[in-house]
Structures are given as structure tokens and as C-alpha cells.
């Protein structure tokens, strides 16, 4: 193999490795500010679908390609009258486990019946703790909180 062919092989190999690296992780987007439902979808993707995924918030009204959108009008993961964005993501990815079973009633109260959340002290506490982490603009801290909540409250 000549030097030129060797260099081409190295370049192709480098490009392939770069393509597979976390530098090219999928970037999902939602509108500013993080809502709990959108955060649950991001957590689900990051913990169960694509561990290297990244998440950003964009100005409301910004056009986002549907497959990368979370809880926006054109998103495949969005709230409806019957289900939360989190539930639509669970259905789309066919994921169900003890943690998602713990989280689903919480998000249903917060998103579909917010007038009833005062009846559920654990939901109010969860929401408050999560929002505190989101105000710090640290999504990984919010993900870690969800993980720890699931471990503490496994069914």
C-alpha cells in the first residue's frame, strides 16, 4: 500500500470514528424554558434511548425539525388531551419499567390535572425539587434527581 492510499485510509477511519463519537450526538430541542413534561422526555431519551444525546432550549416559535423536537406543536413527543409528552415518548420507544411507572402518575397530575396537584404532597415536593435544579440551568442535575427519585420510590 502506497503512502497516498495509507493517508486516505487514515482519513476515512478518522471520519468514521468522528461520525460515531459523542461529538455528533443527536441534539434535541424544546422551547424556553424547560417544562417538567419536556424534561421527562429528555431524561427518557438520555437514559434509555441515546445516552450521548444533547438538549437545548430555543426561542419559542423557532422552527425545529419534528424528529428532534420535544413538546412543541410539530413534535412527535407532545402533550394532547389524553396523554403527556412523556407518555407519547414511552409509547414511541416502547419503554416501560418501574421508574417510568413511578413517574407517569406524577406527570399526569402536573400536566393534565394541575388543579389537583395540591392534593398530592409528593407531587408538589417532586415538582419543587426538580424546578430548583432547572433554575440552575443544569439539566444533568435534573436527570440525576429523577434517577434518585426513582430509586427511592421504586414500586
pTM score? 0.81
Q: Domain range holding 124?
A: 3-152
pLDDT of residue 20: 44
Task: List pLDDT tens digits, range 46-63.
Answer: 999 999 999 998 998 898
**Are 112 and 84 spatial neighbours (Cβ–Cβ below 8 Å)?**
yes
Task: List pLDDT tens digits, range 21-47.
Answer: 445 679 999 988 888 999 999 999 999
How many domains does the structure of the chain reveal? 1
> Does 123 or 33 have the greater pLDDT score?
123
Amino acid at each position: 500500500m502506497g503512502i497516498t492510499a495509507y493517508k486516505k485510509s487514515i482519513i476515512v477511519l478518522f471520519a468514521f470514528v468522528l461520525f460515531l463519537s459523542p461529538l455528533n450526538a443527536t441534539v434535541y430541542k424544546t422551547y424556553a424554558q424547560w417544562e417538567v413534561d419536556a424534561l421527562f422526555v429528555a431524561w427518557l431519551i438520555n437514559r434509555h434511548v441515546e445516552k450521548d444525546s444533547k438538549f437545548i432550549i430555543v426561542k419559542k416559535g423557532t422552527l425545529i425539525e419534528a424528529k428532534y423536537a420535544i413538546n412543541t406543536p410539530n413534535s412527535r413527543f407532545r402533550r394532547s388531551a389524553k396523554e403527556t409528552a412523556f407518555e407519547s415518548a414511552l409509547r414511541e420507544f416502547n419503554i416501560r419499567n418501574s421508574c417510568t411507572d413511578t413517574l407517569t402518575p406524577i406527570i399526569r397530575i402536573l400536566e393534565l390535572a394541575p388543579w389537583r396537584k395540591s392534593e398530592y404532597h409528593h407531587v408538589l415536593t417532586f415538582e419543587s425539587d426538580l424546578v430548583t435544579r432547572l433554575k440552575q440551568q443544569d439539566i444533568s442535575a435534573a436527570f440525576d434527581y429523577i434517577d434518585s427519585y426513582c430509586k427511592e420510590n421504586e414500586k
